[in-house]
Structure 1
Amino acid sequence: MKYVSKRNGMAYSSLNYETICFHVKDLKSAIALINDDRILKFNEMHDFIDDITQEELNKGLEAVKEVLANDGELLKEYFAMFKEVSTQEASLKYAKEFKKDEIDKARDLVIEGGVSYKDKIFQSAVKDRNLLTSTVSLFAITKQVPEGFVWIAKDNTAIPFTLEELIELGSIMANSVNTNTIKARNLKDKIEQVKTLEELESIVWSD
Structure 2
Amino acid sequence: MKIITKNGVIYNSLSVSIISDLINSVKTLVVVVSDDRKINYDKNNEFIDDITQDELNKGLEAVKEILANENELLKEYFLMFKEVSTQEASLKYAKEFKKDEIDKARDKAIEGGVSFKDKIFQSSEKDRNLLTSTVSLFSIAKQVPEDFVWITQDNTAVPFTLEELIQLGSIMANSVNTNTIKARELKDKIEQATSLEELNQIAWENKE
- TM-score under structure 2 normalisation? 0.97
Distance 1:36 1:22 in 2: 24
Which residue pairs with 2:130 in the alignment? Answer: 131
Give identity over the alignment, percent. Answer: 70
Q: Which amino acid aligns with 1:63?
A: A
Kindly state the Cα deviation for residue 18 of structure 1 after the two structures are TM-superposed.
Answer: 2.3
Distance 2:143 2:192 in 1: 50
**CA shift digits 1:43-96 (9 cap, x unpaired):** 121111100000001000000011111111111111111111110000000000
Which residue pairs with 2:69 in the alignment? Answer: 70
SS of alignment partner, residue 197 of structure 2: helix
Distance 1:180 1:19 in 2: 37
Distance 2:127 2:145 in 1: 20
Distance 1:80 1:166 in 2: 48
Kindly state the Cα deviation for residue 19 of structure 1 after the two structures are TM-superposed.
Answer: 2.0
**CA shift digits 1:4-59 (9 cap, x unpaired):** 11111111122222221121011111110001110011112111110000000100
Structure 2: any 5+ residue segments left out of the alignment?
Answer: none
Q: Does 1:27 align with 2:29?
A: no
Q: State the aligned residue count.
A: 206
SS of alignment partner, residue 22 of structure 1: helix
Runs of 4+ in 1 over 2 A off after TM superposition: none
Distance 2:158 2:13 in 1: 54
SS of alignment partner, residue 151 of structure 1: strand
Structure 1: any 5+ residue segments left out of the alignment?
Answer: none
Which residue pairs with 1:115 in the alignment? Answer: 114
Distance 1:136 1:4 in 2: 57
Distance 1:109 1:17 in 2: 25
- TM-score under structure 1 normalisation? 0.98
Q: Which amino acid aligns with 2:50?
A: D
Distance 2:16 2:156 in 1: 43
Q: Which amino acid aligns with 2:78?
A: F
Distance 2:14 2:154 in 1: 44
SS of alignment partner, residue 121 of structure 1: strand
Distance 1:121 1:176 in 2: 13
